[in-house]
């Protein structure tokens, strides 16, 4: 979506050939073609969420090219599941890039606070923290304040009760838990706000790489829990942000 | 939660033995024991959602007893997955009970509008309507206005585009779809509000009773989709209501 | 194991041909052949658990013949997963037979109290009660006192805390729960005695007939939980009895 | 299928001992034995598809020996799932061999255009390109013209609509997509030609290495979609070629 | 898509306000709303396949209403997975409706031969015939000639070879097989045309309701096989028709 | 394979146009077409096993027609998974038909003893007997002597040891067991003959309809166990017969 | 749980502000926050089991910090699934740490014998020993005497019978077995004490990383077997300890 | 089973204290304890199959110790799934050890021909050869003659027909095939001897590491196929040997 294109749209608005609404729609439905990729440059206008770059499964060159295109348009960037090598390649192209190693995120810009409320990100154990950090950093990138409450799994449930007031003041709660994923049900029975569950692949044997936790959260006996894919901290962060910034 | 108990709490507040906040907390954490069941009479205070009665797996007598207890306290009732037989038993006990046959819900006194926005409930096909009705009626019971957009699956995607404006004006979208569940991804790529996916067991063969749709929604390439259990219209309705009524 | 056989063993003991220990071992390893079945008449001596009759998958005649053989030897009977029709057939043969409809058990002469402690049987919901009753009645048949604590699932966890003292006084806790099965983890984090989890097939959709609950309990983040087959109240009752009656 | 054998067949035809039809059938059903392998030298006559060499699971020597045998007969070669090491070994034996790294294909002599129409190969994302390239290069090897339309997944469905005319002019469409695989259904609802879906293992967590996408495509709500194995770009290319070259 | 609407489109064409191409596109993207359903009246123009009515999961009234709408527009109807009861309801509304009991299809009109070639429909066993008939009748409804070759499974593979000439003269082969589904691979190794596999749920035990056959066909060692959902004779018929009628 | 056809073959042998070996081969590869079915009349010559009729999934008329064709040729019949209704239909056509209700088999003329050794058929429990009877009756139909050893599961392993001598004298052992299927491993560790395991669907919950037993037998720690499909007594009987009658 | 906090509690007891029982409860429900982790310092008081540190999924620094916190309070430590690298990091912080390489455990202190009886730990094969050692060492850490009986799988069942007396004298038996897991059923049929089964991931192919053994044990035909997660020697050790130390 | 022990048994026979039969039984049920392992030295006497050493999951020292014990008794050794490192360790202890790299077997002294007939080992493709070699070498170690027929999969079924005479002359056929495993069914329909199927993990995607082939073989439409675990060439070799050497 280069400058020329935008100027043409704006000129059309000025000339009355396009109404402002038509112009927004036009901008929301265009994309920039890189040959191997079509960067969805209108996604933020259309869905409220800028296109993030999923690094896994892409070559370093592909990531850098997409990252440049996204950054050129918006001055910002969120790239997920990035290895250190990928980060270093992006860093050379975009020197302001910052790497969140725990969350495996590359971020440029970020933190333009928009949300009114606060999003609580809760984990069952210490091993769930990388996924939780992906969620938390995504929320922050999308402009929300985040409260981290880590290692409060149900094996010692008094640790959760010690943070009940923090929980009750959140607008949305993201619960990140592996193994049996019971924490999502327990939290959802205690708060009156939406709970987004993120099953993690923490565990072994019959956890089947997160399946146990996923099924546990889907079958939560406390209604109101919704669930994202295993280890999908990014998706949970987006969902929580959309909820927190609800019109 | 009989009258005596409440009066005792209120008296304690009056006498300064309990602060109002303590009283609310006390009320939120009590329950009424029926022997075989412990009706969670404080759930609405605590979680914003009154206890609904899941009829499946309970005998008729059990449902009636729990329904009476819930209704006595609140003058309202939502019972899910109710057969006509169960409804008739409840009707004898609670003559104001109304049966929503498509959604298999029993309702007493709903519709106290609280939500500001509107919840869109969308289905892929005609066969998904019973689950969608469960979601829609739950939303209405919890005080939300609902826009029904049915049979707009991706095999004829122009049907969806014909309702794009309705979709874009919703505060939350509930997408109910069986088979491959692709509709959730498509909708989520078009709107800037939270999307709650409900996979349904509509299909046969390799749909594995909704597994295909569940996995499809969990792997949505459009971030921001969250998912509830297969055929769980009630849970989606609760989640959408909590989102719509977010503080 | 007819009288003649036993008398022959006893005579051998008297004559010094068998030591008492040898005689016990001999008795423990014999069985009575009915042609289609070989009733393991020494099982109680050998394993502490009399042979129970699983009615499912057997014809009415087969159940009656095995029931007679078991009862003739011991004056007692426990038959599981019995339909009312099977019960009526057994009743004609063994008039003292009593039917526990909720638990689908046929019992003749139980309750010879042996256990010192008390076994708590806990359920997540009302729909889990049939399985819990199978466990509880098995425990009672094997001579244990049982404390029933029903409908204390984690969606309203304060209901569980209302029974914490009862729980803490038990020698063993059997936790019966469907859906996500989270209750086993929560209970196990609160008590210092063995917890036996029984996943139930209560639920729908992605509960996959109890699989979600089974996986949840197997992946419990609280160590010390052991698990039996889905809906296997009988097996949990036997395990709890063996634990409670440990030498 | 050495020269002597072919000459014997041809002589028999000349002498009227074999009709031309019988000779084709004879040639179509012979093979060349390498001891560890039996190269199906008649496959192209019989099925329209020359034998391709699947490199995975074979030693380098085995691949080279089979490649030589195939090439000797036809002057051409297609070897799939080839590592660079395997390619280098083949290159030493067959200097004209060319390596398509993205698609992991080794090709000698392709592109004898036979198909009238054009095959469109479409991907949902950038990470699906290696599988798509395997399909596209197979189609080209088999003589078809290919139109590549990459990164048009349903999260930004306007990108697809931007290529609708290209799609509508194709004779067959191959849709390559991971995650939920929704793109196959959407495309199939828009075009009037056969659609071959290739689920890819792109994704994580509950994608279960392509299972989600596979099930999604199998349950497509748009009839007319057929599906090949996960990541099987080669198979999709063959199927599309057979369709495009249909008598 | 009532008459008024069509006349308006046609008038616009006449007046030069719409090009003929624009008119076709307009017609192809409209639908008729029945409230609970949106009949995709342009599907045949758009995808070459008229909308068929899947009866399963719909009430009798819903089927009749949709059937009327489809028939009103085109004078034809194909309804799948129809019980005899549903047929009788449709028959009252559309007296020309004919019921194919084996295939569970309701047909009105049909057989306007368009395809040049012939589609062979092959089954492994006798029990696969209902699914094969669904495929064959769909092909015929869509205007193709069909050759039925039933009960030629690989346990007695000479039965297949007895029909090799019929097979080789087909333009497309649909292979319908349960159990291990091996027939698809064997056929595909013998013919030079596209093979569409339909796994069926025939079998028991580890066939897991068609999963074994589905996986077998997806893993076919003979390239060129594509697969549809278990028991999806209709889908296979549509795919085969599209292939046979390829431009 | 009517008389005329056979006479023609025999005449050709007499005239020296066919060698006896060629005639056998010719007869072995023909079949009789019934339209919906192709009765593999040469199967016994070819594979040593006459074609048995699987009744499940066929209509009564289809079974009767196939049964007649099989019987006409050989004077014998084995039909499996037959309901009483099917039996009665067959009985009308073939009055000598006998019904083995437990095994759900229809038999005409069996028991031409051919095998030298004896086949032991062993079950873990009483509920496994129907499958065991299918295996045993198939063995007997194919001319073998059978030793039945029922209800000797590993929960009371001394019952098995009581039959060790019978086991050791068998030429082949068929082990039929549900639940965990452990009996196959134990037996295989005790005897020096082939062991064929038949997992049964006896069990509930995490037996997943025989999957647990199937996996247990496939993973037997005692080498030499081979396995057939869940509940496939017929297949085990055929395999055991082929082993016992090995040249 | 620093000294100051404990002194405050004790002072309150002394002053009569807390009863001793209240003080125990208070201590049992506190935890020590490390930021990323909340060490459940009261777990031993509450559940009889000190918090063990699961090393997998934690960084070396995290393990060391938690280990220090646990050790400071109790002078003891049990860390599971520890690599040698992790051990060396812990060793630097806690020089008394000892590494059990087979069991992958780090232990400080341990062996304060409390249990009266003896726990037998039994394996099917040599490859199951690492998991068995984890169980055995956990039992010993928790104060129990352990009898190891290794490599007595059912393929040579006389090896088990050679240890029958040892088995019969145990208070609890832990059975560790991969492949089909049959050993648990066989042992449970021979002893009159609780049996805890630990399926292991030993095996290949259709063992599906321990699933076969897990299902086998869950479906044990001998009642009284309870099961823990695949490879969960630690959990089995805790469960066996709780059973052996039952009040 | 050291010399002293054997001499004691033999002396007892000589003195008439043991009959020869009792002595065989005694020898068959003893084992040699290595502490971590109990070598089943009587297995060959008891089951006809000497104990083979499964190397996977054992340390090098454990393999060497067991190999020494087995070899000391019998002068022979078969060790399966051995890496080259393990082989080298064994070689140092037993210099006559020979390594079959393709089959990953270590052999000392094999080939004492006992079987009368010949065992055919057949593969679908070249990639199945390692598993086939494990089966073939096991058969040879156990004294059987083996006919190898490789790469005759059903994609070019004429390759199989080219070896029909070899197949028909075998006493047992072992069919080794990955992907869809169809070869087992086809072979079983052509021969009159037992067929043992070995599914392999050759394939990708929806082969799910051999599951597709396993299910395919279990559901074979040709009765008489029995199946062993995925990639279990050793088990198939043992089973085929036992069948071939049947009394």
Indicate if the pLDDT at residue B117 is higher than 60. yes
Distance CA G121, CA G129 (A): 10
By the 8 A CB rule, do G147 and G170 touch? yes
CA of E46 to nearest chain D CA: how many angstroms apart?
A: 6
Residue G113 inside a domain? The answer is: no
A192, A229, A239: residue with CB nearest B224: A239
Do chains B and C touch, with touching meaning 3 or more CB–CB pairs less than 8 Å apart?
A: yes
The tens digit of pLDDT for each residue in H104-113 reads 999 998 666 6
Helix H, strand E, coil C: the string for F178-241 is: CCCCHHHHHHHCCCCCCEEEEECCCCCHHHHHHHHHHHHHHCCCCCCEEECCCCCHHHHHHHHH
Indicate if the pLDDT at residue H178 is higher than 90. yes
CATH code for the domain in which residue H183 is found: 3.40.50.1970
The number of residues in chain F equals 247
Interchain CB distance below 8 Å, G215 and F212: yes
Coil vs helix vs strand at H163: coil
Task: Label the pairing between strands G38-39 and G32-33.
Answer: antiparallel
Q: What angle do CA E84, E87, E92 make, to 5 degrees?
A: 130
> Chain D interface, mutation test: which of B125, B158, B182, most D Cβ atoms within 10 Å?
B182
Distance CA F213, CA G217 (A): 10
The range of the structural domain enclosing residue B26 comes to 3-8+15-108
| Beta strands, E only, H81-200 | 98-100, 105-108, 118-123, 145-149, 172-177, 195-199
> Chain C interface, mutation test: which of B5, B36, B47, most C Cβ atoms within 10 Å?
B36
CB of D12 within 8 Å of any CB in chain B?
Answer: no
pLDDT at F111: 60
Nearest CA among D169, D167, D206, D170 for reference residue D183: D167
Residue H52 per-residue DSSP state: P
Nearest CA among B247, E243, C116, E95 for reference residue A118: B247
Element (H, E) at H205: none
Do chains H and B touch, with touching meaning 3 or more CB–CB pairs less than 8 Å apart?
A: no
D35, D38, D230: residue with CB nearest H206: D230
Looking at the structure of chain B, the number of domains it has is: 2
The number of residues in chain E equals 247
Residue B195 inside a domain? The answer is: yes
Where is mean pLDDT largest: A35-44, C29-38, C124-133, F155-164? Answer: C124-133
The token duo for D191 is 């075009």
The token duo for A49 is 């969420």
Distance CA D116, CA D143 (A): 9
Distance CA H84, CA A177 (A): 42
CB-CB neighbors (< 8 A) of B238 in chain A? 223-224
CA of H72 to nearest chain G CA: how many angstroms apart?
A: 19
How far, rounded to the nearest angstrom, does the alpha carbon of residue D184 sit from its chain's CA centroid? 18
D46, D220, D229: residue with CB nearest E192: D46
Indicate if the pLDDT at residue E112 is higher than 70. no
CA of D117 to nearest chain A CA: how many angstroms apart?
A: 23
CA of F162 to nearest chain G CA: how many angstroms apart?
A: 15
Coil vs helix vs strand at C77: strand
Q: Minimum mean pLDDT among E122-131, E182-191, G108-117, H229-238: which range?
A: G108-117
Residue C113 inside a domain? The answer is: no
Indicate if the pLDDT at residue G114 is higher than 70. no
Residues A135 and A233 in one domain: yes
By the 8 A CB rule, do D217 and H193 touch? no
Last residue of a domain, one of F108, F130, F165: F108
**pLDDT tens sequence for chain A (247 residues):** 445 666 777 788 788 887 777 777 777 777 888 888 888 877 887 887 777 899 999 999 999 999 999 998 888 999 999 999 999 999 999 999 999 998 999 999 866 666 578 999 999 999 999 999 999 999 999 999 999 999 999 988 888 988 888 898 999 999 999 998 899 999 999 998 999 999 999 999 999 999 999 999 999 989 889 999 999 999 999 999 999 987 5
Which residue of chain D comes nearest to H204, CA vs CA? D230
pLDDT at B3: 56
C36, C38, C46: residue with CB nearest F129: C36
Residues D220 and D125 in one domain: yes
The residues in C 80-139 lying below 8 A from A, measured between CB atoms, are 124-125
Interchain CB distance below 8 Å, C40 and F155: yes
Residues G92 and G201 in one domain: no
Give D230's Cβ-side CA count (13 Å radius). Answer: 29
CB-CB neighbors (< 8 A) of B220 in chain D? 155, 179-180
Q: Which residues pair with E199 in a beta bridge?
A: E177
Distance CA B56, CA H214 (A): 38
Interchain CB distance below 8 Å, F155 and C66: no
Terminal-to-terminal C-alpha distance of chain E: 27
Distance CA C65, CA C88 (A): 14
Q: What angle do CA D95, D99, D101 make, to 5 degrees?
A: 160
The token duo for C163 is 């029974």
The tens digit of pLDDT for each residue in H203-241 reads 999 999 999 999 999 999 999 899 999 999 999 999 999
Q: What angle do CA C189, C194, C196 make, to 5 degrees?
A: 95
**Average pLDDT value for residue range G44-65:** 87
CB of E205 within 8 Å of any CB in chain H?
Answer: yes
State the average pLDDT for chain F.
Answer: 89
F-to-G residue pairs, Cβ atoms closer than 8 angstroms: 116
pLDDT band at G4 (very low <50, low <70, confident <90, very high): low
G84 class by beta-carbon count within 10 Å (0-12 exposed, 13-18 middle, 19+ buried): exposed
Terminal-to-terminal C-alpha distance of chain A: 27
Alpha helices in C98-203 (DSSP H): 129-141, 158-161, 164-168, 183-188
Residue C194 inside a domain? The answer is: yes
pLDDT at A3: 56
pLDDT at D115: 57
Distance CA B34, CA B32 (A): 7
The token duo for H21 is 């039969």
Distance CA G215, CA F208 (A): 9
Residues G102 and G123 in one domain: no
The tens digit of pLDDT for each residue in E45-93 reads 788 777 789 999 999 999 999 999 999 888 899 999 999 999 999 999 9
Which of the pair, E139 or A114, is modelled with greater confidence?
Answer: E139
**Average pLDDT value for residue range B7-28:** 76
Distance CA C22, CA F8 (A): 75
Residues B221 and B169 in one domain: yes
The tens digit of pLDDT for each residue in H41-57 reads 778 778 877 778 999 99
Interchain CB distance below 8 Å, G211 and A207: no
Residue D113 inside a domain? The answer is: no
Which pTM does this prediction carry?
0.93
How far, rounded to the nearest angstrom, does the alpha carbon of residue A101 sit from its chain's CA centroid? 16
Interchain CB distance below 8 Å, B126 and E36: yes
Interchain CB distance below 8 Å, A38 and D152: yes
Distances (CA, A) of E53 to E35, E60, E99: 16, 12, 14
CB-CB neighbors (< 8 A) of F156 in chain G? 189
Distance CA E3, CA C228 (A): 66
Nearest CA among E222, E139, F61 for reference residue E148: E139
Distance CA H240, CA H164 (A): 19
Contacts of D37 (CB under 8 A, 6+ apart): D62, D65, D66, H126, H150, H151
Interchain CB distance below 8 Å, B223 and A49: yes
Residue G91 per-residue DSSP state: H
**Residue G154 Ramachandran class (φ > 0 left, ψ -120 to 50 alpha, else beta):** alpha
CB-CB neighbors (< 8 A) of A224 in chain B? 47, 49, 235, 238-239, 242
Residues D103 and D139 in one domain: no
* Percent above pLDDT 70 for chain F: 95
pLDDT at E162: 85
CB-CB neighbors (< 8 A) of B195 in chain D? none
Interchain CB distance below 8 Å, B221 and D189: no
Task: Label the pairing between strands B172-177 and B195-199.
Answer: parallel
Residue B67 inside a domain? The answer is: yes
Contacts of F72 (CB under 8 A, 6+ apart): none
Do chains F and A touch, with touching meaning 3 or more CB–CB pairs less than 8 Å apart?
A: no
By the 8 A CB rule, do D155 and D127 touch? no
Where is mean pLDDT largest: F3-17, F185-199, H8-22? Answer: F185-199
Last residue of a domain, one of H108, H134, H158: H108
Is the dihedral angle over the CA atoms G81, G85, G88, G90 positive or is it negative? negative
**Average pLDDT value for residue range C1-25:** 73
D-to-E residue pairs, Cβ atoms closer than 8 angstroms: 119
pLDDT at D5: 67
> Chain F interface, mutation test: which of C24, C37, C70, most F Cβ atoms within 10 Å?
C37
Helices (H) and strands (E) in chain D, counts: 11, 11
CB of F169 within 8 Å of any CB in chain H?
Answer: no
Which string of b and e fits C134-165 if b means at least 16 CB within 10 Å? bbbbbbbbbebbbbbbbbbbbbbbbbbbbbee
Distance CA C108, CA C92 (A): 13
Distance CA A136, CA A138 (A): 5
Residues H151 and H237 in one domain: yes
State the chains in contact with G (3 or more Cβ–Cβ pairs under 8 Å).
A, C, F, H
Residues H240 and H131 in one domain: yes
Residue H236 inside a domain? The answer is: yes
Q: Which residues pair with C174 in a beta bridge?
A: C121, C196
CB of E201 within 8 Å of any CB in chain H?
Answer: no
The token duo for C150 is 């029903």
Distance CA F201, CA C111 (A): 34
Residues G135 and G236 in one domain: yes
pLDDT at D112: 62
Residues F150 and F191 in one domain: yes
Element (H, E) at E133: helix E129-141
Residue E113 inside a domain? The answer is: no
CB of B159 within 8 Å of any CB in chain E?
Answer: yes
Residues H42 and H126 in one domain: no
By the 8 A CB rule, do F80 and F54 touch? yes
By the 8 A CB rule, do F136 and F237 touch? yes
Return the residue matching tokens 């812990």. Answer: G90
CA of B119 to nearest chain C CA: how many angstroms apart?
A: 24
H38, H66, H209: residue with CB nearest G159: H38
- Which residues of chain D carry a pLDDT beneath 70? 1-6, 110-115, 247
Residues C155 and C218 in one domain: yes
The tens digit of pLDDT for each residue in E18-34 reads 777 777 777 777 788 88
State the chains in contact with B (3 or more Cβ–Cβ pairs under 8 Å).
A, C, D, E
Last residue of a domain, one of A85, A108, A131: A108
Interchain CB distance below 8 Å, A220 and C180: yes
Distances (CA, A) of H134 to C49, F215, G156: 45, 22, 23
Interchain CB distance below 8 Å, G235 and C223: yes
Distance CA F154, CA F186 (A): 8
pLDDT band at E40 (very low <50, low <70, confident <90, very high): confident
């Amino acid at each position: 979506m280069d400058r020329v294109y935008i100027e043409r749209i704006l000129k059309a608005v000025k000339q009355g050939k396009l109404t402002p609404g038509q112009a927004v729609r036009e901008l929301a439905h265009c994309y920039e073609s890189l040959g191997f990729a079509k960067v969805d440059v209108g996604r933020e206008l259309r869905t409220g969420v800028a296109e993030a770059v999923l690094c896994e499964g892409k070559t370093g060159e592909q990531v850098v090219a997409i990252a440049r295109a996204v950054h050129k348009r918006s001055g910002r960037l969120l790239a997920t599941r990035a290895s250190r090598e990928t980060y270093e390649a992006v860093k050379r192209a975009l020197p302001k890039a910052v790497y969140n190693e725990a969350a495996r995120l590359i971020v440029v810009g970020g933190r333009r606070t928009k949300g009114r409320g606060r999003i609580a990100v809760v984990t069952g154990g210490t091993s769930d923290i990388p996924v939780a950090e992906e969620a938390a950093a995504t929320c922050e990138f999308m402009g929300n304040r985040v409260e981290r409450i880590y290692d409060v799994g149900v094996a010692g449930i008094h640790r959760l009760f010690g943070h009940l007031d923090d929980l009750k003041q959140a607008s949305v709660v993201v619960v990140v838990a592996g193994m049996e994923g019971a924490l999502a049900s327990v939290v959802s029975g205690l708060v009156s706000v939406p709970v987004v569950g993120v099953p993690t692949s923490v565990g072994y044997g019959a956890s089947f790489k997160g399946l146990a936790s996923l099924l546990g959260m889907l079958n939560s006996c406390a209604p109101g829990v919704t669930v994202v894919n295993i280890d999908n901290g990014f998706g949970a962060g987006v969902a929580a942000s959309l909820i927190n910034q609800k019109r």
